[in-house]
């Protein structure tokens, strides 16, 4: 709405004042943001005579051609003097041919003022830049250089794609674009419609204030762009037809090699790696046709105050592309699915808290009349102790080791299956809404490194085989494969070695603390050792994560994968394997190995003949597993995922400011003086989505793999992800350079990783319940050995007897009278025959009974849960019924559209007089495409119901 009496002119909740400043109205009752096309028209109408676009740095110096992409390079001038001459030159479509430019002029621009000399290395870089930019001009792109920027030592190359280049490449990329044809999507009626309407009204406050003027039940019919069928599309404003996201994906020099020069080895990736260019990026929008996107994303998405709202996924996709949009859609769905998992986990935990006083085993341990004397926990320095001192540990273990744990494990396995199925349906719905239903991955051309290796191989052959098509085979890659195998095993071995080192730390520290003269220290030995060891493990995990990431990339480069997709998948696989082992090896040791290889009193297993292997506390290793899991999970989320993501980009940005001698200026003054492409130069380069996905995959492992020991894991993951979504959003909007928009119809290899983790989680949780917790021993005792069918006497049933006179020489305690009396028989947790039996200290039959039941439980649990998961997979279709119906009928509408168009052409030809002669005939043939447009049967104002 335009108000000509008021100097502030509003467009929805956007205001544009007389000082040419764009304002955002944060009033929630304000009208929603208009369509980009409408705001594009408004901004054009409000453009003053002096060009504000060029001042923002979004347009060329003439203020008309938009900057679609920017290249930066190091600008070195001897003596530090800056040229007073204007160093901006334009290469328009009329001067596209490099031969039309004077060679001295190009050389002067590249090398600086006359009389300046570069060394041979800088001359080579300047020559490669000149050659590459000539290739860009040959493609039809228009270039403008700026070497007089406010950033010393940095030159900029601004790239613009004219209309004909955009149309050509949009047709080549098979971009689907909405046509002028609209149709009505029939909504469900009856009871389902009333329920959905009620739910939408209840959830309306959770939706962001982002809304199109177009009704939700009206959709544009999309079709692959074609220059021959431009009349199908709304071309009333060509400047706004392709948005900035689409323009950058078309113009991006990162795709130059794939799109136009399949065999060009000097692609932008190689040029960036060799230092010919220092950066390549599209610009963030400020005052262009899509200017409403970034401010709106900042206030309605990248804002911690709207953490309770849904994400504007459609707007994220319009600004960043489908690939990034799918990541945030997946992250949002994953976070939503964590809500029911968190509620059930909290209920299970509260159940443990409510029943802790009714738990008979812990009551027996904590009973004051309990007079069970336990064997020493270590040699020499440790003495005998009363079982009642383990009361706190036993009560705490019940919080995580109770009958509800089995139910929660089954629930989380089904939850993972539901999540996977829900995501597949959500993904298909997004594919339909984003016009990706018929999208196929573009042909991935060979990487420059691969072609270079192939060229080296070809040159090493004799002249007779030069005509053959060479490629790298397994023999060529064998050294790299062997290096990969050896290094991967070595890195996993390093992880095992560090875990073993932490084991030695626990053993030695426990012995040292038992020798302390402070009674408080001796009473808290277990808690101190467990906590400090978990923190040490966390620090090591954080350090090795960075090391393993670099090692995985180095190994992938050695393999020389053929395509970028292959490179990314191999890198992801190696990184995930290394980081998975790094994060979960200490947890796996505690869950399945600690306390299993201890031996018995009088015949303990020793390491280095002096360190006795660790034992679990009487309450079991589940409590220690919970401590290790919670510290590792929370530490990784708080330190690595949040602190590093906030602090590292800001630190790098500060360093770039200092290096560019801009650190002395105030931030506000600097932002006023810098152009848009100069401001974006200080932002952090986009490094891909692999780190974002990777941290979520590891978190998914924490939530599902050992959830039987830590039911609060989904709650902590939920709280972290609520912050993570807004943190990532703020990082993408304000801290990172704008990524090149990439199309994708799914999340790729990450879905397979999720599926694999979910299947492994079923097996691991079955083993945790069977072997780590006391669930199976309790059930066996209650139903097979209990005299009254209750848990009374369970603790005594699990403890074996040992005669202290059978200790090895030098291994007995130094303080046998620690309890005030001499001990002859002590107890230890195991199923063994007593010393007075015919086979003293041999494994008893109760042990084999419990072991058989444990193995049977693993088999039954695994098969039942996987069967239930398969049933869930079968019951829930991958494609929603309404989406499949709409896709089918959209194809019918598209065929109907073209049939009417052809009928319109035939009708026009038949209506022409047959006596028009050759001149009329030829004229009608020449103008066939233009006259068919208004009569093509395309009704833009009418809608058709399904």
Longest dimension (CA), the chain: 129
Query: Could you tell me where the DSSP H helices lie in 602-666?
Result: 622-635, 644-659
Q: CB within 8 A of 797, min separation 6: which ones?
A: 781, 785, 846
Which pLDDT band holds residue 211 (cuts at 50, 70, 90)?
Answer: low
pLDDT at residue 331 tops 90: yes
Whether 575 contacts 554, CB under 8 Å: no
pLDDT at residue 849 tops 90: yes
pLDDT at residue 851 tops 90: yes
The two three-digit tokens of residue 582, written as one number: 């790094």
Task: Report the pLDDT value the prediction gives residue 820, as an integer from 0 to 100.
Answer: 82
Please report the DSSP string for 443-476 in residue order.
P-PBPHHHHHHHHHHHHHS-GGGTTS-----HHH
pLDDT at residue 825 tops 70: yes
- Condensed to tens digits (0 to 9), the pLDDT of residues 160-184 reads 889 888 888 888 888 888 888 777 7
- Condensed to tens digits (0 to 9), the pLDDT of residues 721-762 reads 998 899 899 889 888 889 988 888 889 899 999 999 998 988
pLDDT above 90 covers a percentage of the chain that reads 16
Whether 770 contacts 854, CB under 8 Å: yes
pLDDT at residue 262 tops 60: no
- Condensed to tens digits (0 to 9), the pLDDT of residues 357-384 reads 888 888 888 887 778 898 888 888 788 8
* Stretch (H or E) spanning 914: none
Rounded Cα distance, 424 and 878, in Å: 6
The two three-digit tokens of residue 880, written as one number: 């929603």
Average pLDDT over residues 118-129: 78
Task: Report the pLDDT value the prediction gives residue 551, as an integer from 0 to 100.
Answer: 92
pLDDT at residue 338 tops 90: yes
Average pLDDT over residues 671-700: 85
Angle of the 474-514 helix axis to the 564-592 helix axis, nearest 10: 30
When the pLDDT of each residue in the chain is averaged and rounded to a whole number, the result is 77
pLDDT at residue 48 tops 60: no
CATH architecture of the region 61-75+117-171+251-283: 2-Layer Sandwich (3.30)
Q: Note the pTM of the prediction, 2 decimals.
A: 0.81
- In DSSP terms, 22 is beta-bridged to 16
pLDDT at residue 288 tops 70: no
Task: Report the pLDDT value the prediction gives residue 869, as an integer from 0 to 100.
Answer: 86
Which pLDDT band holds residue 478 (cuts at 50, 70, 90)?
Answer: confident
Task: Report the pLDDT value the prediction gives residue 119, as an integer from 0 to 100.
Answer: 64
Question: 12 vs 839, which has greater pLDDT?
Answer: 839
Range with the largest mean pLDDT of 569-578, 801-810, 898-907: 569-578
pLDDT at residue 720 tops 50: yes
Task: Report the pLDDT value the prediction gives residue 529, as an integer from 0 to 100.
Answer: 83
- Condensed to tens digits (0 to 9), the pLDDT of residues 430-463 reads 988 888 877 776 666 777 777 777 777 777 765 4
pLDDT at residue 337 tops 90: yes
Task: Report the pLDDT value the prediction gives residue 362, as an integer from 0 to 100.
Answer: 86
Please report the DSSP string for 414-446 in residue order.
HHHHHHHHHHHHHHHHHHHHTT-TT--PPP-PB
pLDDT at residue 101 tops 60: no
Which pLDDT band holds residue 697 (cuts at 50, 70, 90)?
Answer: very high
Burial of 409 (0-12, 13-18, 19+ CB in 10 A): buried
Q: Strand pairing of 611-612 and 22-24?
A: unpaired
Q: What angle do CA 509, 512, 518 make, to 5 degrees?
A: 120
Q: CB within 8 A of 258, min separation 6: which ones?
A: 442, 444, 445
pLDDT at residue 31 tops 50: no
Which pLDDT band holds residue 934 (cuts at 50, 70, 90)?
Answer: very low
Which pLDDT band holds residue 43 (cuts at 50, 70, 90)?
Answer: very low
- Condensed to tens digits (0 to 9), the pLDDT of residues 578-601 reads 999 998 998 888 888 887 888 888
Average pLDDT over residues 195-212: 76
Domain boundaries in the chain? 61-75+117-171+251-283, 322-457+472-660+688-776+857-875
pLDDT at residue 259 tops 50: no
- In DSSP terms, 490 is beta-bridged to none
pLDDT at residue 811 tops 90: no
Residue in this structure with the two tokens 């319009």, named with its chain if needed: 318
- Condensed to tens digits (0 to 9), the pLDDT of residues 527-551 reads 788 888 888 888 888 889 889 989 9
Rounded Cα distance, 210 and 344, in Å: 33
């Amino acid at each position: 709405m335009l108000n000509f009496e008021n100097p502030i002119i509003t467009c929805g909740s956007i205001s544009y004042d007389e000082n040419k400043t764009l304002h955002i109205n944060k009033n929630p009752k304000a009208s929603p943001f208009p369509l980009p096309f409408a705001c594009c028209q408004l901004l054009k109408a409000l453009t003053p005579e002096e060009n504000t676009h060029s001042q923002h740095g979004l347009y060329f110096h003439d203020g008309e051609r938009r900057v679609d992409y920017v290249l930066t390079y190091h600008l070195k001038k001897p003596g530090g003097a800056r040229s007073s001459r204007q160093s901006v030159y334009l290469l328009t479509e009329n001067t596209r041919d490099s031969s039309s430019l004077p060679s001295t002029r190009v050389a002067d621009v590249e090398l600086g003022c006359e009389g300046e000399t570069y060394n041979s290395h800088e001359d080579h870089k300047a020559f490669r830049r000149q050659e590459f930019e000539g290739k860009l001009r040959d493609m039809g792109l228009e270039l403008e250089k700026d070497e007089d920027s406010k950033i010393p030592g940095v030159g900029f190359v601004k790239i613009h794609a004219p209309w004909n280049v955009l149309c050509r490449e949009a047709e080549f990329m098979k971009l689907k674009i909405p046509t002028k044809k609209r149709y009505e999507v029939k909504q469900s009626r009856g009871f389902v419609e009333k329920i959905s309407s009620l739910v939408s009204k209840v959830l309306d406050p959770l939706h962001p204030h982002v809304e199109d003027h177009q009704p939700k039940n009206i959709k544009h019919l999309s079709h692959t762009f074609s220059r021959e069928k431009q009349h199908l599309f709304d071309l009333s404003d060509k400047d706004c037809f392709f948005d900035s996201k689409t323009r950058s994906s078309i113009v991006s020099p990162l795709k130059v090699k794939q799109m136009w020069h399949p065999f060009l080895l000097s692609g932008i990736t190689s040029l960036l790696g060799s230092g010919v260019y220092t950066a390549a990026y599209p610009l963030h929008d400020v005052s262009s046709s899509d200017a409403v996107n970034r401010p709106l994303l900042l206030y309605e998405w990248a804002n911690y105050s709207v953490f309770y709202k849904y994400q504007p996924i459609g707007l994220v996709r319009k600004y960043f592309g489908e690939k990034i949009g799918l990541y945030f859609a997946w992250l949002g769905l994953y976070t939503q699915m964590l809500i029911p998992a968190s509620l059930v986990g909290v209920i299970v935990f509260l159940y443990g808290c409510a029943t802790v006083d009714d738990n008979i085993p812990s009551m027996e341990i904590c009973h004051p009349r309990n007079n069970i004397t336990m064997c020493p926990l270590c040699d020499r320095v440790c003495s005998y102790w009363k079982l009642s001192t383990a009361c706190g540990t036993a009560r705490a273990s019940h919080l995580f080791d109770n009958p509800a744990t089995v139910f929660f494990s089954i629930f989380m396995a089904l939850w993972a299956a539901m999540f996977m199925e829900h995501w597949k349906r959500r993904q298909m719905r997004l594919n339909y809404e984003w016009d990706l239903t018929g999208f196929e991955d573009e042909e991935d051309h060979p990487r420059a490194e691969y072609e270079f290796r192939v060229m080296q191989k070809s040159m090493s052959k004799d002249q007779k085989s030069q005509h053959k098509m060479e490629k790298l085979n397994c023999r060529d890659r064998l050294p790299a494969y062997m290096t990969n195998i050896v290094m991967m095993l070595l890195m996993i071995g390093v992880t095992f070695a560090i875990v073993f080192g932490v084991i030695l730390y626990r053993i030695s520290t426990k012995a040292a603390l038992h020798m302390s003269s402070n009674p408080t220290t001796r009473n808290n030995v277990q808690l101190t050792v467990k906590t400090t060891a978990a923190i040490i493990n966390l620090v090591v995990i954080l350090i090795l994560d960075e090391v393993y990431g670099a090692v995985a990339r180095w190994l992938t480069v050695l393999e020389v994968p053929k395509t970028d997709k292959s490179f990314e998948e191999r890198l992801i696989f190696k990184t995930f394997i290394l980081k998975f082992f790094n994060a979960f090896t200490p947890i796996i040791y505690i869950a399945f190995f600690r306390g299993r290889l201890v031996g018995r009193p009088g015949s303990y297993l020793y390491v280095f003949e002096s360190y006795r292997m660790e034992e679990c506390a009487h309450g079991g290793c589940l409590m220690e597993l919970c401590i290790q899991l919670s510290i590792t999970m929370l530490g990784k989320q708080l330190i690595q995922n949040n602190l590093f993501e906030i602090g590292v980009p800001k630190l790098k940005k500060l360093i770039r400011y200092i290096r560019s001698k801009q650190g002395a200026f105030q931030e506000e003054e600097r932002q006023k003086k810098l152009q848009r492409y100069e401001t974006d130069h200080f932002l952090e380069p986009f490094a891909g989505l692999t780190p974002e996905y990777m941290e979520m995959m590891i978190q998914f492992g924490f939530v599902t793999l050992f959830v039987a020991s830590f039911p609060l894991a989904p709650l902590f993951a939920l709280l972290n992800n609520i912050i993570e979504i807004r943190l990532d959003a703020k990082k993408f909007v304000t801290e990172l350079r704008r990524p090149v928009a990439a199309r994708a119809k799914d999340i790729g290899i990450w879905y397979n990783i999720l599926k694999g983790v979910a299947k492994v989680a079923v097996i691991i949780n079955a083993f945790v319940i069977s072997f780590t917790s006391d669930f199976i021993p309790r059930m066996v005792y209650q139903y097979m050995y209990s005299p009254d069918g209750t848990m009374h006497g369970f603790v005594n049933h699990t403890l074996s007897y040992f005669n202290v006179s059978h200790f090895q020489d030098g291994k007995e305690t130094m303080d046998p009278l620690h309890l005030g009396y001499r001990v002859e028989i002590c107890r230890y947790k195991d199923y063994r025959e007593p010393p007075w039996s015919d086979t003293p200290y041999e494994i008893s039959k109760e042990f084999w009974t419990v072991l058989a039941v444990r193995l049977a439980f693993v088999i039954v649990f695994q098969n039942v849960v996987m069967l239930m998961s398969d049933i869930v997979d079968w019951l829930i279709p991958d494609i929603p019924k309404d989406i499949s119906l709409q896709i089918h009928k959209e194809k019918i509408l598209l065929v109907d559209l073209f049939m009417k168009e052809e009928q319109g052409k035939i009708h026009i030809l038949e209506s022409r007089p047959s006596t028009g002669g050759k001149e009329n005939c030829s004229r009608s043939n020449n103008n066939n495409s233009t006259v068919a447009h208004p009569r093509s049967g395309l009704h833009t104002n009418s809608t058709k119901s399904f």
